[in-house]
Structure formats: C-alpha cells, structure tokens
Structure 1
C-alpha cells in the first residue's frame, strides 16, 4: 500500500450512521480485518456490555472492558480489533452529525483517549437508548420522520457519552482558560502541523502570545508547544513508516520537510531510532 487507506462511511451508509450489535460483528470484523490498518473519515463509538474487546490505535493497544464506552476519532490509524466473548455495540457516525460542543469534549486531549467506565445506572440508560436507536435504524426506514428521529436518538446517545467524558476529564468543574487553550491548540495543530512548525504561528492563530500558549500547555500537559508540534509530526511519520510503502524521502515530504536528512535527524532525536530502523523494528 502506498498510503494508509481511508475507510469512508458513505460506502456503507448514505444517511451518516451505521449501528451493529455483536450478533452482527462477525461480518463487520472480517471487513475490518480485510481492510487492515486504516483511518476512518468518521467517528466510531463502541459500547461493551459484557466481556471485553481490544483495538490497536496509533501503536497503543486499548482494552475495552464491560460496561464501558470508547471512541475512535476520524484520522486515527487503527487495526487489530479483537473481541473476547464480548457483547456490545458499534456505531459509525458522520462527523457532521456530532454536535460541535460534543466534538470539543471528544477531541480535547493531546494524548490518546481512554475508555470510559459506566456505572450501573448510566449503563442502563445508555443501553436503553442504544436499543431504541438500533431498532429504529433497522426496522422503521419507511416511517415518517425516520431520519429526524434517528438523528435525535443518535444525538442523545452521543450526548450521554460526551457528558461522561466531560465529567471524567474535568470532575464537573467549569473549564479553565488553559484547558480551553489546549483544546483549541489541538484542533489547529491537527489541521496545520504538516505546513506549520513554529510555536509563534500557533499562538498567532489563537490570538494569544507565544509565552501564554507555552504556559497554558505546560500547566495542562507539563510540556511546551514545541514538544506537541514535533509529537504530531513524528506520530504521523510513524504511521506512514509502519502502514505504507512510502520511502523516507516521501514521508519527510508528507509531513512537511523538504530536507529528508533533517527529518531523519529529528526522528532519531525524538524516538531514539532512525526512520529505517523504526520501520525494520515494527515491520519484521
């Protein structure tokens, strides 16, 4: 494969949503296995009712245990989905159907998101809602207001998930300014890291000083702006080294460097390995 494939929801669904129960998983998991490592152009939500599953996301294996919710963001590279006697649900959702305020919750971490453990009451509420959603999705396609009801149920489920993650992140406290800056920084970093490497440029995009941006990120993550810019670049480079057949020079260009020797030095400084050594280690 020359580039990492992108799995598009429109190929499977024309209404921006796909929902399956574990009873439907065999075919779905075979599709994912056949696709291999890939990105999605949409959100994926998992809710495990019993047992557990695991998914490999950007070189980290995440275990999802019973009564937990987990999500995969658009563009995150993932593969190797396993389910060990798991019962639960899979929902693929077009990004445009995830309200902005909920997206801000799901996308506000610079580090990899973790599963959210539901208490008994929350699990029951989510399970009731997702069963309504599943039933409506599969059995009421000819009914009046089908899409309107479907989207309302979907928004309710996503809202409950967002509420849980927001409580988990902030312990119910009002979001502080540094946390908001971190979230805004992540959003513009994802969109611009290939073409913009200067901390001052990101501060300018946020209409704040570079020193205040650095201070805010250090307060929330313990690390400065420059670290997170390089981290995003190196993560994308690792994805391309591992999952594509692009050479080092092509990958350097993909992540915004004309000088591939400089890129190689940066990669080694960040990871302790040259790009080729990294590729040889992970692609035996």
Structure 2
C-alpha cells in the first residue's frame, strides 16, 4: 500500500449524507472492516444505544459505551472497529453541510476528541432526530423538498451534538481570545504542516506576533507552538509508517523534509525510537 485509502462520501451518497442503524445489517461496519485503516473525507457521527464497541483513531483506542456520541473528523485515520456488542447509529456528513459555528466546536481541540455521555433528555432528542433522518433518508427520495428537509433535520441533529460538546469543552461564543487563537491555529496547521514548520509563519497567517501565539497556546494547552507543529508532522509520519509501505525517505518527503536523515533524527528525538523501530514495533 503506497497511500492510506480515503473513503469518499460522494461515492456512496449523492446528497452528502448517509445514515444507518445497526439493525440495517451492519453494512457500514462490514465495509469498514474490509477497507481496513483509512481516512474519510467527511465527518462521521456515532450514537450508541446499547452495548459497547471500540475503534482505533490515530493510534488511540476509543471506547464507545451505551448512550454516548462520538465523532470523527475528516482526515483522521481509523480502523479495527469492534462492534460485536453494539447497537446504534452511524451518520456520515459532507463537511460542507456542517455549519461553520458547529465545525468550530468539533475542531477546537489539538488532541483527540472524546465520546460525549448523553443524559436522558439529550439522548431522547438525538434519538428522535436520527430516527427522522433515517426514515426520510430511506422513504422520501421522490419528495420535491427531499434534500431541503434532509439538510434541515441534519442541521438540527448536528446542532444538538455541537451544543453538548460546547458544554463539555466549555467553549462557545463567550470563549476568551487565547482559545479562539488556538482553534484558528489548529485549522491552519492542518492545512500547512507539510510545507510550513516555522512558528513565525503561523503567527503571520493569524496576523499576530509569534510571542502572542506562543503565549496563547501555552495558556490553553500548556505547550508552545513548536511542539504542536512537530506533533502534527510526526502524527502524519506515524500514520504513513504504520499504514503504508512507503520507506523512510519517501515518508520524509511526504511530510515536508528533503533531508531524510534529519527527519529520522527528529522522529527519534520526539518519539523515542527510530522510524524503522516504530514500524517494526507497530506492524508485528
């Protein structure tokens, strides 16, 4: 494998939405197992009704328990879905259908997002909306306003989930300036880490000083800009080492280093092992 496969929603759903329940036969989970480790070019939401399951997202095991919601962002590598005891919902959504304010909440963390536990009221609201979405998705395809109704129902559900995560993460419109800077930094980091490694460049993109960006990130995460740049680079390198057959030199170029020996030294410094040792350990 030369590259990590990308699961494209447009190949399965022409309206930018796909919704399934485990009672549908677990078709998505079967397909995901066949696909193996992959990225998606869209958002995915899981809501567990009963039982439990697990999946691995960027080397971290995520446990999905009864009455929890979890989402995956476009680009995150995931695999090994264990659903032998789980009942619930799967919802795939084109990024364009997720309003900007909701995306800000979902994408506001530099570290991996966590499942959200639903109280009775929130669970019933989300469950009702998912049933409406599922019913409309499968039964009203000839309706004149099929897409409009689907997108309205979808917007309501995503809004409910975003509201829950807003409370969980203590974010929102009243957030302080450092938190907003952290979120903006993450967005541009995701788009530029392969080509831009200098903290000053990110500060320039945000129209603030490098010292202010550093201060903002230290206040919100406890760590400086340089740490998060290298962290993003090394996470992508680990994905490629684990999930592809690219060699170290190819991976170094893929993440933006012409000098693969320098890349290898940096990898060992940040990860504690060489790239080859990491590959050998994780691919046993």
TM-score, normalized by the shorter chain, greater than 0.5 = yes
Correspondence for 1:211 = 211
Give the drift of 1:38.
0.3
CA RMSD of aligned residues (A): 1.0
Q: Equivalents in 1 of 2:118, 2:61: separation in Å?
A: 20
CA contact 2:241–2:251 (8 Å) conserved in 1 = yes
Tell me how far 1:197 sits from its aligned partner: 0.3
2:171 and 2:184 map into 1 onto residues whose CA distance is 20
Q: Residue 212 of structure 1 aligns to a residue in which SS? A: helix
Q: Distance in 1 between matches of 2:223 and 2:172?
A: 24
Task: Report how far residue 173 of structure 1 moved.
Answer: 7.9
| 1:159-170 mapped onto 2 (5 Å cutoff) | 159-170=159-170
Contact in 1 for aligned 2:105/2:172 (Cα 8 Å): no
| Higher alpha-carbon deviation: 109-118 or 137-146 | 137-146
1:1-284 to 2 correspondences below 5 Å: 1-170=1-170, 174-284=174-284
SS state at 2:14 partner: coil
Q: Residue 264 of structure 1: CA displacement? A: 0.1
Q: Distance in 1 between matches of 2:173 and 2:15?
A: 36
TM-score norm. by structure 1 comes to 0.98
Indicate if the aligned counterparts of 2:56 and 2:81 stay in contact, CA closer than 8 A.
yes
Judging changes above 3 Å, is the alpha-carbon distance between structure 1 residues 172 and 205 closer, same or farther for their aligned structure 2 residues? closer
For residues 43-66 of structure 1, give each alpha carbon's deviation from its aligned partner in whole angstroms, at most 9, with x where no partner exists.
000000111111100000000111
- Post-superposition, which runs of at least 4 consecutive aligned residues in structure 1 deviate over 4 A? none
Q: Give the TM-score normalised by structure 2.
A: 0.98
In the TM superposition, residue 26 of structure 1 has moved relative to its aligned partner by 2.6
Distance 2:144 2:189 in 1: 42
Mapped to 2, the partners of 1:158 and 1:50 lie a distance apart of 21
- Range with bigger deviation, 263-272 or 168-177: 168-177
1:120-152 deviations in whole A, cap 9, x for unaligned?
Answer: 010001111111111011011112201000000
How far apart, in 1, do the equivalents of 2:242 and 2:58 lie? 10
Aligned mates of 1:256, 1:25 — CA distance in 2: 43
Aligned residue pairs total: 284
- List runs of 5+ in structure 1 lacking aligned partners: none
Q: Verify the 8 A CA contact 2:33 2:79 in the aligned structure 1.
A: yes
Task: Describe the SS at the equivalent of 1:83.
Answer: strand
In structure 2, C-alpha distance between the alignment counterparts of 1:223 and 1:229, rounded to whole Å: 11
Residues in 1 aligned to 2:40 and 2:24: alpha-carbon distance in whole angstroms = 20
Please give the secondary structure, in 1, of the residue aligned with 2:133: helix
